[in-house]
């Protein structure tokens, strides 16, 4: 009996140790920034006709590209996933601009590429707030959130309300804590997670058109979490599910699909 108690005590200590380790390093599990020099980024941006997007103090906060169809009908703000950089999201910008007459702005997260700072829910939401403040002059504002970007886009939709003319989510979640629970079911992640991104709760304050694209076999953000976000939303909405697809498979959609999104947003009605 004594040896069994010792074994149980050691297992309990090991579990507590793992919990403490995951708690300490949880942001490195969520955020996977790619770092790059300013020269490298400028070269990449030039290759896809992107221009530096700067704030009032002259700091570059992302990239933008005017619509080739001027005058533009508005602006779309894209918030990307947890890896890579903003300048690498031309697979979203290219077909979107071919389909819809919108200026594209892609926000870079703090701590990604060459942007100073560290990524967290607080710093990314602050960066998103700054971004939409810089876009006040555009006649209509649309929002696109990819993967991790679901949370801050839902936050902006809820905060800005009728100022946002439409939202599109790509492989989204209802809450980041739900995503973490699927990958670490043996951990009390809902209590440990510092950056819970409660997208479903934030989006409830928005009432405009919302599109949701999910991958049926998503191994990163399971499809039921995207459907949960869709089902929780009471405003005008549309759901696309790609059969047999995994997380990365659905992000490169053709202009024809973005025209469907445009119809949801009020284009060509």
What pTM did the predictor assign? 0.93
Residue-level pLDDT at 190: 81
pLDDT, tens digit, 9 for 90 and up, residues 164-218: 999 999 999 999 999 999 988 877 878 789 999 999 999 999 999 999 999 999 9
Q: Give yes or no for a contact between 19 and 188, defined as CB atoms under 8 angstroms apart.
A: yes
Q: Within 13 A of 70's CA, how many CA atoms are on the CB side?
A: 3
- C-alpha span between 14 and 194 (Å, rounded): 22
- For the chain, percent of residues with pLDDT exceeding 90: 84
- C-alpha span between 200 and 218 (Å, rounded): 19
- C-alpha span between 210 and 88 (Å, rounded): 25
- Which range (14-18, 92-96, 136-140) has the least confidence? 14-18
């Amino acid at each position: 009996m004594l040896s069994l108690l010792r074994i149980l005590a050691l297992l309990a200590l090991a579990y507590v140790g793992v919990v403490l380790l995951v708690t300490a390093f949880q942001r490195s599990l969520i955020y996977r920034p790619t770092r790059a020099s300013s020269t490298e980024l400028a070269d990449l941006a030039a290759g896809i006709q992107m221009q530096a997007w700067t704030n009032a103090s002259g700091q570059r906060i992302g990239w933008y590209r005017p619509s080739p169809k001027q005058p533009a009908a508005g602006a779309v703000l894209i918030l990307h996933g947890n890896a890579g950089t903003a300048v690498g999201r031309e697979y979203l910008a290219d077909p979107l601009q071919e389909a819809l007459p919108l200026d594209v702005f892609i926000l870079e997260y703090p701590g990604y590429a060459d942007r100073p700072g560290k990524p967290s829910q607080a710093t990314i939401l602050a960066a998103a707030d700054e971004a939409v403040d810089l876009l006040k002059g555009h006649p209509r504002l649309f929002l696109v959130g990819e993967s991790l970007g679901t949370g801050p886009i839902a936050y902006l939709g809820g905060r800005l309300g009728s100022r946002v003319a439409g939202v599109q989510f790509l492989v989204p979640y209802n809450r980041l804590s739900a995503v973490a629970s699927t990958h670490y079911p043996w951990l009390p992640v809902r209590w440990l997670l510092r950056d819970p991104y409660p997208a479903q709760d934030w989006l409830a304050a928005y009432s405009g058109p919302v599109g949701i694209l999910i991958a049926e076999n998503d191994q990163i953000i399971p499809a039921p979490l995207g459907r949960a976000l869709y089902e929780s939303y009471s405003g005008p909405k549309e759901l696309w599910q790609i059969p047999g697809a995994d997380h990365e498979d659905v992000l490169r959609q053709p202009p024809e699909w973005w025209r469907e999104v445009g119809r949801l947003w009020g284009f060509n009605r």
